[in-house]
Chains A and B, each alone.
Chain A
Amino acid sequence: AQSVAQPEDQVNVAEGNPLTVKCTYSVSGNPYLFWYVQYPNRGLQFLLKYITGDNLVKGSYVFDSEFNYSQTSFHLKKPSALVSDSALYFCADSTLTFGKGTMLLVSP
């Protein structure tokens, strides 16, 4: 069975610093992995996904994610955090399993 895990309930970052939100997965075969963001009182929004190919996954919201097969990780990354990035982030896999979410707080 596939599953994903987000080991951190909350991540605190100062604005301008790089951010990483962690996700690990367990899966047999080729995984399909996703990142979503949720702003307060809103539904989830798709950020990016990994299917196959390059380990560095480019997203449409300036976020990237690095897929690491040997470490079974799919961490979300951004080189310079903004206060507006503060939100709840979920990773998910293709079995419709979501992590428990990581709250990202970016301080000015």
Chain B
Amino acid sequence: TAGITQAPTSQILAAGRSMTLRCTQDMRHNAMYWYRQDLGLGLRLIHYSNTAGTTGKGEVPDGYSVSRANTDDFPLTLASAVPSQTSVYFCASSDGVTDYNEQFFGPGTRLTVL
């Protein structure tokens, strides 16, 4: 199975432009997450969704929005990109919303905002 796919693999974006990072999972997991990974800061949660139709804010939500129209897809949108959003973005999912479910991660999207 594919697990979690993310697109694009990498992108260079001009500041002020908008962009949507795509994430799709085929495991029928209820919960999905978006993280950004920055050197020296580890992974930080941007937004999450416990089930289709619901979303919540993580540690660093400003400048990002998400939607969860169905179980499989969880796109992340940058409405007006800024250079500080240069990062590697990971989508993840977990089976259920209990505290002890491990997460499965996609391969990441490397975004550079100039």
Interface residues of A (CB under 8 A from B): 32, 34, 36, 41-46, 49, 51, 90, 94-101
Interfacial chain A residues near B33, Cβ < 8 Å: 96
Inside 8 A of B105's CB, which chain A residues have their CB?
36, 43-45
Tell whether, in the assembled complex, residue A96 and residue B42 are in contact, meaning their CB atoms are under 8 Å apart. Answer: no
- Check A46–B103 contact: CB distance below 8 A: yes
Distance in angstroms from A8 CB to nearest chain B CB is 13
Any A CB within 8 A of the CB of B64 = no
**Residue numbers in B under 8 Å from A90 (CB-CB):** 42-43
Q: Given contact pairs A41-B108, A42-B107, A46-B102, enumerate 20 new A-B contacts (beta carbons under 8 Å).
A: A32-B99, A34-B103, A36-B105, A43-B4, A43-B90, A44-B43, A44-B90, A44-B92, A44-B105, A46-B104, A49-B102, A95-B99, A96-B33, A96-B45, A96-B48, A96-B58, A98-B43, A98-B44, A100-B41, A101-B42
Q: By the criterion CB–CB under 8 Å, are B100 and A100 in contact?
A: no
Give me 15 A-to-B residue pairs in the complex whose CB atoms sit less than 8 angstroms apart, sorted by A's number: A42-B107, A42-B108, A43-B4, A43-B107, A44-B105, A46-B104, A49-B100, A49-B102, A51-B100, A90-B42, A94-B99, A96-B33, A96-B48, A98-B42, A98-B44
Docked pose: A98 CA to B105 CA in angstroms: 14
A95 to B48, CA, bound (A): 12
The answer to whether B42 touches A100 (Cβ under 8 A) is yes
Of the candidates A34, A95, A101, the one whose C-beta lies within 8 Å of that of B102 is: A34
Q: Is B53 an interface residue (CB 8 A)?
A: no
Q: Which 3 A-B pairs have the closest CB atoms?
A: A94-B99, A43-B105, A100-B42
Closest chain-A Cβ to B38's Cβ sits at a distance in Å of 10
Chain B residues, CB < 8 A from A94? 99-100
